[in-house]
Amino acid sequence: MSHILEISQLAKRYGGLLATDHVSLTLAPGELHAIIGPNGAGKTTLIGQLGGEVAPDSGSIRFDGKDITSLAPAQRALRGLARSYQITSVFPELSVLENVALAMQAHCGHSFGFWTPMLRQPELVEPALHAIGQAGLAHRARAPVSDLAHGERRQLELAMVLVAEPKLLLLDEPMAGMSHQESGKVVELLQGLKGRYAMLLVEHDMDAVFALADRISVLVYGRIIASGTPQEIRANEEVRTAYLGDEVLPV
């Protein structure tokens, strides 16, 4: 089977600490693969290496058939590897639609009709509305961003990534800081996106992870100690002892 992402032996050392210790994993197109592990296990470092913000000391990353190990984050994004950040470049006084249309314009790297008001440019508005719908925010498209609740803002960040039609989404704790109700909504949204995008999800919310993932990899002290289906991970004794002993796994 061809893989959209192949990570091979990725390592990153901080002084005496191996934050990622020769991590290898693959992602099939359309697969949702979750990375779980205790605090300090190396999850953020791994996501940073994939996004291009953290340079690995060794190892390689192949994405969509090409080696991207030495590419900058923007070059990776152009190839379809998108990271959902807590986006800082949001204009709070502009509407959801205007912000997503701007993200579309930035992704395309040129201004469409410079003198034409943005919302009269269907080549920006149509994909923006589509992405806003995919992110579950259609009813808020005309609302100023400053009016959004915390969960809705995270949905906007997702729309701003989806508008570029990525091939792989890196989702770094998309449920962080959300109420139970809000995270339930994001689980539903991601369920709806499953199969259309490959997704690598780092998340502490175990209910969400076990509900969503096709496969789960467990990272402990920078090393993947197990990879498998949610059922396999739930039944894995080493995982239970090393990581999940103090967590209650969803049944």
37: contact with ligand ATP by CB under 6 A: yes
CB 57 within 8 A of CB 11: yes
**Of these, 4, 5, 7, 19, which contacts ligand ATP (CB under 6 A)?**
19
Phi, psi of 143 (to 5 degrees): -75, 145
The smaller minimum CB distance to ligand ATP, of residues 40 and 92, is found at: 40
CB of 35 to ligand ATP, least distance (A): 8
45: contact with ligand ATP by CB under 6 A: yes
Q: Is the dihedral of CA 79, 85, 89, 92 positive or negative?
A: positive
Tracing tokens 């579309």 back to the chain, one arrives at 104
42: contact with ligand ATP by CB under 6 A: yes
* Residue 240 CB-density burial (10 A; 0-12 exposed, 13-18 middle, 19+ buried): middle
Q: How far apart are CA 190 and CA 225, in angstroms?
A: 26
Region from 12-20, 116-124, 150-158, 188-196 binding ligand ATP, contact rule CB under 6 A = 12-20
CB 215 within 8 A of CB 226: no
149: contact with ligand ATP by CB under 6 A: no
Region from 13-21, 65-73, 139-147, 180-188 binding ligand ATP, contact rule CB under 6 A = 13-21
215: contact with ligand ATP by CB under 6 A: no
Where does this chain bind ligand ATP (CB under 6 A)? Answer: 14, 17, 19, 37, 39-45
